[in-house]
Structure 1
Amino acid sequence: MAVIGLLFYSCNKDESVPNEPEISQDIAVLSFGPVLNEMVNRAAVRQQIDDLPECSDATPAFAQLSLTYGESDTPIDLVVEILSDENGLFTAYDEELEIPIPSGSTTVSVTLTDFLVLSDNGGIPGDVIWAAPKMDSEYAVFVETPLPLTWDLRAGSKTYVDVPVLCFDDRQVNLYGYLFFDITPKELSTLCFFANYCTESGRHYTANYSLDLYLGTSSLGTPLYLDQTPETGNDGQFYADPVCLTVPAPEDGIDASEPYLYYEITLTDWPDNYGTAGNYIEAGTLSWLQVQELLNPDGTTAEYKHIYLNCEESNDDGEDTYVTVTVDTRNITADNLNETVFFTDNRSSTASNSAVPENHIALVNPNRRIFWSGTTLESDTGETIIITEVYRKEEGGEMILTRTYTEPDLEGFLIGDVRSDYIEGFEFYNLVFTIYGETERTFTIDPKIKMQPN
């Protein structure tokens, strides 16, 4: 395969150009020059790097770039026209590339993080034809200075920065250090995965795994993410956080109900949990509708796609439990909690959904979550109820919850993770809530949790 690459460094040039207006001393002006090195056309060099894609015949017409500047890392995302002269290619003047110099300073730091070169499509940006590879990407070895590039600009200067680039193939976008939707902007969504592993005897474990996700219907598609692994731990029970990824909507011409994402999940070792992994892989496809169905009402967070490795997959993954603690803030005292605190939830039967806290039983499913939130009985008190802590009693019965925590995107909720394998019996716990108003008042109540099989 004919290929190109380059093995040289970028250079910065501060120049004054004849007939250009004088540059103010409170700014510095930037221009970028994409550079391909013709030396790699030599047969010996091509033989060494024949994995690189062929070059397009299209003329470079636009640059799509991202940079940050200053102590606050102010971002700039820009598409700018590419011009040429006897010295080569360079980006046209653009007001957004006038970088302000901080007051009292003579320089400002700039970091270029993304740089793509596009063809012309009737006067507008077309396809990506060249890309500057990023550090730690597979193609970074073919350039002397992969992105990010950082340098200081002097006040009143116009700086030309050479950017080493490689010919581009969108089927290999990850090899340059970019994600597919960096190259082709699309509507984005959140997609999460969680996995269980079952031994031959049928015992369920929370799984550790490696996830590959492709744009397409097989591993021959465009890689979106490779070798993604969950955050695992043990805080009394082994747990693995869902792997949550940002995915693009399908290409034009692919219906929302058609498969367009392909995933492979491979079980990996977890020495302290189930030990050495067998050769277990689960693969499948997803449509845009299936991705959207996993979204929560906030439109940002998502339920996970539940994967079973060597398990008889359940037809019912269960559901999350939402418990609301309603407090009569006008009358509550430490002595009348059963008369002034009321529990309701989305799961319990009429008999167990008692308003008396000490008798309330929250029903939960394996591998799901329970959400606690608080509210006042009367809306005009100006007070708020925050669930501050949930913890297991000393004689707490069965260990149903693996941990409790909060998430920044779910304000007002305390969240508990339910263990992955089904057990019978109750877990007895204490719930602590605080009333915030003119004064702060904190109380502790003691409901129960019970597991239902999926």
Structure 2
Amino acid sequence: MKTTTLLKRTIRTASFLTILLVLISFKHEKPKSQNSLEISKDLVLNNVNDYNLAITVKNNTIEVERKDVQVVLVIDTDGINNSNLDSKVLFVNVGDTTENRSGYSKNFLTKVYKNKKIQWSAVPQDENSSLTIDVLAIFRKEDAGAEIMEDIYIEEGKKGVVTAKIKNKKVVGIENYSVVFRINEEIPRTFTVDPKLQMGP
């Protein structure tokens, strides 16, 4: 009788421990949907071709929204002239974390997204400089290629900043355009540089 009772207790204890182990294992296991979400998020965040993104997560689904693009011209005003512009004007795509986020004006490419905006402004390279720099105009070149921008304007209250609206349709190819900027010194000087635009996915 005692042997039977002891055996029953042993079986109950073993069953309890088995259930406990299963519960602990389940608690530490991530749901498949969560694992998939983390993998997808990692792919988006590490995609070197996609920047200026807004990433939100709703109901375990990643939503990627393209954002407006800001381009800042960082200008070395010391000795700048029309023959050395390519080494004096650095373009920076604000918010871009790729290796192509900045470069000198010649052949510099910025990716934009349909139905969004792009905005240009300029600052002196020397942070202690008292000079200001205005972007005066953006215009398509004669050999512009693809037509990505549909409206170029200066917003009220944003002196020295030019904005362009991007077409609300997919445009393939590269658009060649010009940026006109003015260095506001005792005798103001105006220069033109020629970067490029491309529509991202």
User: Which TM-score bucket, shorter chain as reference?
Assistant: 0.5 to 0.7
* Contact 1:348/1:363 (<8 A) preserved: no
* Aligned counterparts of 1:381 and 1:438: Cα–Cα separation in 2: 13
Query: Which one of the candidate residues 129, 132, 153 is aligned to 1:384?
Result: 132
Query: Which one of the candidate residues 147, 155, 165 is aligned to 1:417?
Result: 165
Q: 1:398-452: CA deviations, max 9, x gaps?
A: 0000011011143432100000001221100011100001111011000000111
Query: Match for residue 34 of structure 1?
Result: none
Counterparts of 1:146-185 in structure 2 under 5 Å? none
Query: Which one of the candidate residues 402, 405, 409 is aligned to 2:150?
Result: 402
Percentage identity across paired residues of the two chains: 31
Q: 1:57-109: CA deviations, max 9, x gaps?
A: xxxxxxxxxxxxxxxxxxxxxxxxxxxxxxxxxxxxxxxxxxxxxxxxxxxxx
Change (3 A) 1:434 1:325: same
Does residue 329 of the first structure (1) align with residue 70 of the second (2)? no
Counterparts of 1:247-396 in structure 2 under 5 Å? 315-346=63-94, 348=96, 350-396=98-144
* Contact 1:352/1:359 (<8 A) preserved: no
* Aligned counterparts of 1:316 and 1:353: Cα–Cα separation in 2: 20
Query: Match for residue 42 of structure 2?
Result: none
* Aligned counterparts of 2:151 and 2:176: Cα–Cα separation in 1: 14
SS at match of 2:100: coil
Q: CA deviation at 1:316?
A: 3.6
- Counterpart amino acid of residue 130 in structure 2: G
TM-score when normalising by structure 2:
0.65
* Contact 2:145/2:173 (<8 A) preserved: yes
- Counterpart amino acid of residue 365 in structure 1: Y
Query: Which ranges of structure 2 fall in alignment gaps of 5 or more residues?
Result: 1-62
Greater fraction of residues in helix: 2
SS at match of 1:358: coil
Counterparts of 1:43-122 in structure 2 under 5 Å? none
Q: CA deviation at 1:348?
A: 4.7
With a CA cutoff of 8 Å and minimum separation of 6, indicate the structure with the bigger relative contact order: 2
Change (3 A) 1:349 1:449: farther
- Counterpart amino acid of residue 179 in structure 2: L
* Aligned counterparts of 1:345 and 1:395: Cα–Cα separation in 2: 24
Query: Which one of the candidate residues 182, 192, 198 is aligned to 1:434?
Result: 182
- Counterpart amino acid of residue 404 in structure 1: I
Number of aligned positions between the proteins:
139
Q: 1:141-164: CA deviations, max 9, x gaps?
A: xxxxxxxxxxxxxxxxxxxxxxxx
TM-score when normalising by structure 1:
0.29
